[in-house]
Chains A and B, each alone.
Chain A
Amino acid sequence: MTNDLWLFIGIGCGLGSIAAALVYYRWVSRQEPGNEKAVQIASWIKDGASTYLRMLYRALIAVAIFLVIVLAVIFSGDPKRPLHGVYTAMAFGFGALCSALAGWLGMSIAVKANVRTATACGRSLGQGFNVAFKAGAVMGLAMVGVAVFGMSLLYLIFHDAEIVLGFSFGASSLALLAKAGGGIFTKTADIAADLTGKVELGIPEDDPRNPAVIADNVGDNVGDVAGMGADIFDSYVAATVASMLLGTSFAATIGIQYVVLPLILCILGIISALIGLQFVKVGPEGKPGKALNFGTVISCVIFAGLATALFAIVNLSAGETLLNWGALIATVSGLVIGVIIGFTTDYFTNDEHRPVRHVAEISASGTGLTIITGFSYGLISMAPAIFGIVLATLASYFSAQAFGLPGIYGVGIAAVGMLSLTGIVVSNDAYGPIVDNAKGIAEMSGMSHEVVDTADVLDSAGNTAKAITKGFSISAAALTVLAMYAAYSEVIVKYSGDSFIMSLQDPIVLAGIFLGCIVPPLFSALTMLAVTRNAFTMIEEIRRQFKAKPGILAGTELPDYAKCVGIASSGALRALVLPAFLAIILPLIVGFCLGPTALGGFLGGAIFTGVVFALLMSNAGGLWDNAKKYIEAGNCGGPGSEAHKAAVVGDTVGDPFKDTAGPSLNTLITVMSLVSSLFAPLIAQYHLF
C-alpha cells in the first residue's frame, strides 16, 4: 500500500473513532439522569466546569492567536519555503483546536455521566460501571480519533513532518495550560474543602453544606478529565510526530514508509482500543479494577497481534522486507514496558502492598515520620520506572540497530508503541473522576447508602486506574521527549550543515544542563505555590460564608457554591502565566543566546530532572493519599486517631504533588522539546554563542 493510502485510512480511522465516541456519547446521554436533587447538583457541577472551561479557552484563544501570528511571521523568512510559516501557524492552530475539542468532549460527557452513573448505581454495580466506563471511552476514543485524523490530514496535505510538528506544538501548548490550570484548580478546591470542612468543622466529604464541595467536584473534571486527557493527548501526538521527523531524516537511507509507520501504529492502536473496550464488563458481583486492567491487557495483546500481522503481511506480499522487524521489536518492547511500568506504580500506591501500609502504621508516631517515610518511598518508586525507561530505550535502540534501522528511530517507535494504548488508558483514566463525582452526587442528593457504597466500590477502582495512568503517562512522556530530543539534533544538523556534538567538557553545554535542571523544580514550586495561595483565599471565603450564613451548617441555607468555583477558576488562570513563560520562552532564550549545544544540554537537564520529579511527586502523593484512606477504613486507629491526623497532613502535602505539579511536568518537558525542535531551524542559524 502507498503512504497516501495509509493516510486516507488514518483519516477514516480517526473519523471512525470519533464516530464511535459519539455513539457512546449518545448512549450515555440517553441514560436515566435520576432524581431532581441529583440533577440539580449535577447542573451546578456542569455550570462550574463550563465557567472554568470558558475562562480557560478564552485565555487560550488569545495565546493561540498570538503564537499563530508569531509562528507565521518567524517561519516565513525562508525564501525557499515562503509559505512554511503560514502552514506551521495553521497546523499550530489546528492542533490547539483539536486538543481543545477532545478536552471539551471529554468534559462535556463527564458532567453528564456523573449523575447518570450515580443513578445507575442504584440499579446495580455493573450498570453503574457501564455508564461510567462508556463515558470514559468517549474521551479515550475522541482523543485518539482527533489526533490521528489531524496528523494524517496534515501530512496528506503537506507531506512535511515539520508542519505536523506545528500541530503537535499547538496540542501541547494547550495541554500544558489545561493540565497545569486544571491541576491548580482541582487541588485548590480539594485542599480548601478538606481543611475547612473536615479538619475545622468536622463536615464529612461530599457534604452539600460545604461551600467548596461543588468546586471540588468541578476540579475532578477539569483536572483529571480535561487536564489528564490533554496531557496524554500531547504525549501521543508528540511521540508520533517525533518518530515521523526521525523517519523523515533517515528516509533517504531506510525508506519513506518509516515516516508514516508511526501513524500506521496509531491506526492499529485505535482498532485495538475499539476491540478491547468490548471486553471491559462487570457482573453483579464483579470487580471493576480487574475489568479495567483486563481491558488494558487485552488491548495490549490485540495491538501486538495486529502489529505483527501487519509486518508479516506487508513483507510477505511485497516479497521483501518493507517494514523492518527491528521496528516491530521496538514497538512491542515499548508497549510491554509501558504496561509493566504502569503496574509497578500500583505497587507503591495501592494499600494492598507494603509501602502504603507502612506509612499508615508509622503515622501513629507523628506527622514528621509520615512525611519522611512517604517521601522515601516516593524516591524508591522512581527506580522501577527509570529501569523500565532505560530498558525500553536500550531494547528499542539496539533491536532497531541490529536489524539495520537507526537506533534512535527505534526509541521513537517504542514511545509510539507505548502510547498505542492511549485509547484504552484514557478511557480508564476518565472513568475515575466520573465515578468520584457520581459518589459525591449520590451523597449530596441523599441517595441511599447502598447506592453510595456501590459508587464507592467503583471509585476505589478509579483511584487505582488513575495511579497506573500516571506512571504510564510519565514513562511515555520520557520516551517521547527522548525521541523528540533526537529529532531536535537531526534538525540542527540539517539546518546548520555541521555535526552536532555535545561534550560535558564544554562549559556552554554544562551551563545549558544546569539551567535545564532547575526548570522542573521551579515549575513545580510555582504551580504548588499557586495552589496554596488560592486555597488560602478560598478558605477565607468558606469561613466568611459560614459566619455570614449561620443556616448553612444547620442545613437551612444554601452556600454560595459559585463563589468558590470563581476563586478556583480565576486563581488557576492567573497562576499559569509564569509556568507558561518557563516552558515556551526559556528554551528560546537559551537557544538563541547560548546556541544549539546549550539548548541540547538544557533539554537534557530538564528531561532528567523533569522525569525524576514527576515520578517522585506523583507516586509519593498517591501513596500518602491511600495511606490516609487505609486508616479511614478503620486501620491503625481509624478516623480521628493521631495516625489519621498525621496521614491527613501527608495527604494535604501530597495533593498538589500528585495532581498539580507531578503530572504537569510531563507536559512541561514535552512542550520545551517541541519548542526547541520547532525553532531548531532558526536556532541553528542564529545564535550568539
Chain B
Amino acid sequence: MRHLYLSLMPEALIASMLSPEEFGNYYAVGSEHTTQGQAVFFEVDPDFRHAEIPIGEALSRCVPHADGTPKHTVYASVYRVLERIPLSAIRTLYLTTKDGRTLGLERSAEMPASNGELHLYHELAPVRPLVVSRLGPEPFFRLLCGSSNPPLSIPAVSFIELRLGDLATDPLNGSLGDLPYDNVDHLRSCLGQVKSKEVAAKVVDRLHPGTFSYRTIKSGLYIGNKTDGLAVYRLQAMAALKETDYLWWKSATI
C-alpha cells in the first residue's frame, strides 16, 4: 500500500509505504532518532496527479528496500505544493507530536462561528508569520487569497488559529493566562491596532518559529485556495482529547 502525504512543516508532497501513524512517527523522530520535530500532514488521494509534480514517478520509486522493509519517504516535490492540490484530493489531517504520537482529524462540515473577538493566526504554509486580526477565519482567508488585496494575494494558504484568552476581547487589560507568544506588550499593541480598525490584520512576528504547541490551538487548522475556498479541521478541546486520546494529549501538553 502506497500513500501520498502533504506535509505542511515543511511544505512537501511525499510518497510513502508507511501508514499515517507510522509515517508520523518516522517523520517526527527519524529511523535512528537522530532528528526530531513536530509534524503536520494530510493524507492525499493516491490517485491524484498534477502536471507540475512528478507524483507517478515518486510512487513508482516507492518500493520496499532490498531487505523487505518499507520505503519511508520519496519526495515528489518540496516547492509550491499547497497551491497545486485541490481540496477534493485532501483527506484526513494528522498532527504528530515531537515524540511521534499521531492524532487524525477529519474535515469539519461547518466553520466555527465568529463572535467579534480578535484572532491570532499562525500561518503554516507557504510562509509562517504570526498575525493578529479582527477578522474571523473565513474573512481572514479571503483577505489572503481573495482578489480584493491584489499585491498580497496568494494562491493558497494553511493556518491555525491560536488562543488569545482574555486578550481576544480586552487586548489592553485582559489577563494574560496561557499565551502562545511571549512578547506580551508587543502583542497587546498589535491587538490594539487591529481593534481600533486602523488595519484588519497585522503581522506580529514575521519570522515566527515553524513549530507550535498543539495545546495553544483555539479552533483548528484551516486550509484553502483561490479555487476551492476554505476548509477547516477542528481540534477538540484539550479536556475532551484527554478522555479520547490520552497518550497524544499527554505528549501534546508536555
Chain A contact residues, CB within 8 Å of chain B: 198, 200-204, 207, 209, 364, 443, 448-449, 546-547, 550, 553-554, 634-643
Distance between A630 CB and nearest chain B CB, rounded to angstroms: 12
Once bound together, how far apart are the Cα atoms of A553 and B177, in whole Å? 33
For residue A443, which residues in chain B have a CB less than 8 angstroms away from its CB? Answer: 250
Once bound together, how far apart are the Cα atoms of A443 and B176, in whole Å? 31
B254 in the interface (beta carbon within 8 A): yes
The 9 residue pairs across chains A and B that have the minimum distance between CB atoms:
A202-B98, A638-B178, A640-B213, A546-B33, A202-B99, A642-B182, A634-B178, A203-B99, A204-B250
Please determine whether B32 and A547 come into contact, CB atoms closer than 8 angstroms. yes
Known A550-B33, A643-B182; contact A203-B251, beta-carbon cutoff 8 A: yes
Distance between B247 CB and nearest chain A CB, rounded to angstroms: 8
Please determine whether B253 and A639 come into contact, CB atoms closer than 8 angstroms. yes
Contact of B254 among A546, A550, A639 (CB under 8 A): A639
* 9 CB < 8 A contacts A-B: A201-B33, A203-B254, A546-B32, A635-B177, A635-B178, A637-B178, A637-B180, A638-B178, A640-B215
Known A449-B243, A553-B100; contact A204-B251, beta-carbon cutoff 8 A: yes
For residue A639, which residues in chain B have a CB less than 8 angstroms away from its CB? Answer: 213, 215, 253-254
Please determine whether B29 and A364 come into contact, CB atoms closer than 8 angstroms. no
B175-208 vs A, CB cutoff 8 Å, 1 = contact: the mask equals 0111110101000000000000000000000000
Please determine whether A553 and B213 come into contact, CB atoms closer than 8 angstroms. no
Distance between A432 CB and nearest chain B CB, rounded to angstroms: 22
Most buried by B among A198, A207, A209, A637: A637
Once bound together, how far apart are the Cα atoms of A554 and B19, in whole Å? 13
What is the predominant secondary structure among interface residues of chain A facing chain B?
loop
Distance between B238 CB and nearest chain A CB, rounded to angstroms: 10
B216-254 vs A, CB cutoff 8 Å, 1 = contact: the mask equals 100000000000000000000000001100100011011
Distance between A9 CB and nearest chain B CB, rounded to angstroms: 54
Distance between A448 CB and nearest chain B CB, rounded to angstroms: 8
Once bound together, how far apart are the Cα atoms of A635 and B250, in whole Å? 17
Please determine whether A202 and B31 come into contact, CB atoms closer than 8 angstroms. no
B133 in the interface (beta carbon within 8 A): no
For residue B7, which residues in chain A have a CB less than 8 angstroms away from its CB? Answer: none
Please determine whether A637 and B100 come into contact, CB atoms closer than 8 angstroms. no
Most buried by A among B31, B32, B33, B251: B33
Once bound together, how far apart are the Cα atoms of A553 and B254, in whole Å? 16
Please determine whether A364 and B182 come into contact, CB atoms closer than 8 angstroms. yes
For residue A203, which residues in chain B have a CB less than 8 angstroms away from its CB? Answer: 99, 251, 254
Distance between B118 CB and nearest chain A CB, rounded to angstroms: 19
For residue A204, which residues in chain B have a CB less than 8 angstroms away from its CB? Answer: 99, 250-251, 254
Distance between B207 CB and nearest chain A CB, rounded to angstroms: 15
Please determine whether B182 and A637 come into contact, CB atoms closer than 8 angstroms. yes
B97 in the interface (beta carbon within 8 A): yes
Knowing that A364-B184, A553-B99, A636-B176 touch, tell me 20 more A-B residue pairs with CB under 8 angstroms: A201-B29, A201-B99, A202-B98, A203-B251, A204-B99, A204-B250, A204-B254, A207-B99, A364-B182, A448-B246, A546-B33, A554-B22, A554-B100, A635-B177, A635-B178, A639-B213, A640-B215, A640-B254, A641-B180, A642-B182
Please determine whether A550 and B32 come into contact, CB atoms closer than 8 angstroms. yes
Give the bracket for the number of chain B residues in contact with chain A: 20 to 34
For residue A209, which residues in chain B have a CB less than 8 angstroms away from its CB? Answer: 99
Once bound together, how far apart are the Cα atoms of A634 and B176, in whole Å? 11
B34 in the interface (beta carbon within 8 A): yes
Residue of B nearest to A631 (CB): B178
Residue of A nearest to B246 (CB): A449
For residue B216, which residues in chain A have a CB less than 8 angstroms away from its CB? Answer: 638
Please determine whether A641 and B33 come into contact, CB atoms closer than 8 angstroms. no
Most buried by A among B25, B97, B99, B182: B99
Contact of A637 among B179, B250, B253 (CB under 8 A): B179
* Beta-carbon contacts under 8 Å, B22-36 to A: 22, 25, 29, 31-34, 36
Residue of B nearest to A365 (CB): B182
Once bound together, how far apart are the Cα atoms of A688 and B43, in whole Å? 84
Distance between B22 CB and nearest chain A CB, rounded to angstroms: 8
For residue B246, which residues in chain A have a CB less than 8 angstroms away from its CB? Answer: 448-449
Distance between A549 CB and nearest chain B CB, rounded to angstroms: 9
For residue A449, which residues in chain B have a CB less than 8 angstroms away from its CB? Answer: 242-243, 246
Residue of A nearest to B163 (CB): A638
Once bound together, how far apart are the Cα atoms of A506 and B177, in whole Å? 60
Residue of B nearest to A210 (CB): B99
For residue B182, which residues in chain A have a CB less than 8 angstroms away from its CB? Answer: 364, 637, 641-643
Once bound together, how far apart are the Cα atoms of A542 and B182, in whole Å? 32
Most buried by B among A198, A550, A553, A636: A553
Once bound together, how far apart are the Cα atoms of A638 and B216, in whole Å? 9
For residue A202, which residues in chain B have a CB less than 8 angstroms away from its CB? Answer: 36, 97-99, 251, 254
Distance between A190 CB and nearest chain B CB, rounded to angstroms: 16
Residue of B nearest to A546 (CB): B33
Most buried by B among A209, A635, A636, A640: A640
Distance between A647 CB and nearest chain B CB, rounded to angstroms: 13
Distance between A158 CB and nearest chain B CB, rounded to angstroms: 59
Distance between A207 CB and nearest chain B CB, rounded to angstroms: 8
Residue of A nearest to B25 (CB): A554
Distance between B102 CB and nearest chain A CB, rounded to angstroms: 11
Please determine whether B215 and A547 come into contact, CB atoms closer than 8 angstroms. no
Please determine whether A200 and B215 come into contact, CB atoms closer than 8 angstroms. no
For residue A642, which residues in chain B have a CB less than 8 angstroms away from its CB? Answer: 182
For residue A635, which residues in chain B have a CB less than 8 angstroms away from its CB? Answer: 177-178
Once bound together, how far apart are the Cα atoms of A204 and B242, in whole Å? 14
For residue A364, which residues in chain B have a CB less than 8 angstroms away from its CB? Answer: 182, 184
